[in-house]
Amino acid sequence: MQTINILENRYSPFNAFKVFDSSSFENKKRGAELLEQLQVTLDLEKLLNIFAIEAAKYVDFSGLYFKHGSIRKAIRGSRSARNEHQFELKLNNEFIGMLTYAVNSPINHTNSKILNQLHQYLLYPLRNAIEYHRAMQLAMQDGLTGLGNRRYFDEQLRRAMHHANRHRSHVGLVVCDLNKFKAVNDTHGHAVGDQVLVNFADALRASIRDSDSLFRFGGDEFAVLVENATEQSLTLIKHRINQASDNDALLAKYQVSCALGTSLMNRADNEQSLFERADQALYHEKMGMPHHLSLVEA
């Protein structure tokens, strides 16, 4: 993967301003070319990377960050700098998001005007990418709990293991299901059962790090994907989940507890083998059988 080293790009404020401030044929041609490039993708990260390559020809920055609600994206190779300059992006008074440039010196009026002109080419493609991102999130989300669904889990596990193999780190899994959940559903009805699932999902959220991901497969089956994992971090997350679920008043009222199984990636693992070990550990816990984590280095 190519890293954008935008610190090495140098620009002439006069020439850049002249190019984008004029109404010349060349200016329109460059704008049309940029817009054409931006319209080839609905992926937010790719879109920002394409835009950054163009913007870096005129303004010197070391990082570019986009924020819209819960959406947080950055270009490849972004690094912090001494200063930040933010631009609020709007399209016909509709808020599109906040674009932040990490810069080592303040952006002057001329360069700020250049960026504002460049942003005009970004607005429509960016809005389309945001809508696509939202649609994909809904397709990958469990409707009841708001956690990722099984399809999203498979995708994220594949991505995380690929990243871990490249960087010599480890992925961990925690799989969970609820004890006595069927009895609650049968006795008290699905409305109560659904609230139990929502409360347990909240207990999971309270137990993990920002870098971890949560999923519900359906029924009362859940999973936690832990990146940069160790045996210690998996043990700690497991302890926190048990504690959070024990402290939940609704789960306590219906005497619902959770069973947990964990596995830590080794270099021979694929997605299936890593999951199967966690699932086997879950089975052992439910049956009251001893089990342990193992880490085998390739």
Output the pLDDT for position 27. Answer: 65
Output the pLDDT for position 105. Answer: 86
Closest residue by Cα to residue 206 from 266, 246, 173: 246
Output the pLDDT for position 24. Answer: 58
The pTM score is 0.63
Output the pLDDT for position 137. Answer: 79
Where in the chain is CATH 3.30.450? Answer: 6-139
- CATH tag, 6-139: 3.30.450
Name the one residue in this structure whose structure tokens are 């302890």: 239
The answer to whether 220 is a known catalytic residue is: yes
Report residue 226: phi and psi, to 5°. Answer: -115, 115
Rounded Cα gap, residues 27 and 25, in angstroms: 5
Output the pLDDT for position 168. Answer: 93
| Beta-sheet pairing, 221-226 with 172-179 | antiparallel
Rounded Cα gap, residues 243 and 236, in angstroms: 11
CATH class of this structure's domain 150-286 = alpha beta
Please report, in tens digits, the pLDDT of each residue of the chain (298 residues total): 333 333 333 333 334 344 455 455 566 677 788 888 888 899 999 999 999 999 988 888 999 999 998 888 999 889 888 889 999 999 998 999 999 999 988 888 888 888 898 999 999 999 999 999 888 878 889 989 999 999 999 999 999 999 999 999 999 999 999 999 999 999 999 999 999 999 999 999 999 988 899 999 989 999 999 999 999 999 999 999 999 999 999 999 999 999 999 999 999 999 999 999 999 999 999 887 554 444 443 3
Give the side-chain half-sphere CA count within 13 A for 53: 14
Helix (H) or strand (E) holding 170: none
Closest residue by Cα to residue 101 from 120, 117, 82: 82
DSSP secondary-structure letter at 141?
B
Catalytic residue, candidates 60, 142, 212, 220: 220
DSSP helix/strand/coil, 5: coil
Where in the chain is CATH 3.30.70.270? Answer: 150-286
User: What is the sign of the dihedral through the CA atoms of 36, 41, 45 and 49?
Assistant: negative
Confirm if 142 and 206 have CB atoms less than 8 A apart. no
